[in-house]
Amino acid sequence: MIATKEALALAEERGLDLVEVAPQARPPVCRLMDFGKYLYEQRKRQKEARKGQHGGQVKEIKISSKIEAHDINFKVNHIIKFLEQKHRVKVTVVFRGREVSHSERGRALLDRIIEMLESYAVVENAPTLDGRHMTMLLGPAKGLPNRPAQGDKPA
């Protein structure tokens, strides 16, 4: 344990700063360091931590309530690609004309998509009808399974 005046003199002699590390401790804990360099390294670590995070992008896929089976598979593959890139996906069923009176078709379609994506996605917002659109929000599942490469055949 060193007196404050001695610590300040030592810091000045070495060309460093006396920085209080733990002010709540008794006696307060101080450290000799280059404070500018410390701040620079701290900002650099924060920037590096932010680099690994995604901005939480939400991708949207729109489909009609009268979509064919092949087209559903095509759209589901797009959704899987987005989920593998850690994006959230908003799936929207668009009703045209009087189709909105048969909203159960849209609900069945979204339920089918949920079933197809059960190992890839987590439903964040359940399907809801808003005017002529029925939407749901999907997020990537924790442990996404590996898909076979484009030319490979599934086992």
Give the pLDDT of residue 153. Answer: 47
pLDDT tens digits, one per residue of 47-83:
888 876 665 689 999 999 899 989 999 999 999 999 9
Q: Please return the burial class of 11, using the count of CB atoms within 10 Å of its CB with bins 0-12, 13-18 and 19+.
A: middle
Q: Answer with the residue of higher pLDDT: 2 or 80.
A: 80
- Average pLDDT for 100-123: 91
CB atoms within 10 A of CB 79: 20
Rounded alpha-carbon distances, angstroms, from residue 69 to 9, 66, 75, 78: 79, 10, 10, 15
Per the CB < 8 A criterion, the answer to whether 29 and 45 are in contact is no
Q: What is the pLDDT of residue 96?
A: 92
What domains does the chain contain, in order, with CATH numbers? 4-47 (3.10.20.80), 58-140 (3.30.110.10)
pLDDT digits (tens, 9 = 90+) for 20-48: 888 888 888 889 999 999 899 999 998 88
pLDDT at residue 152 above 80?
no
Residue range 102-119: average pLDDT? Answer: 92
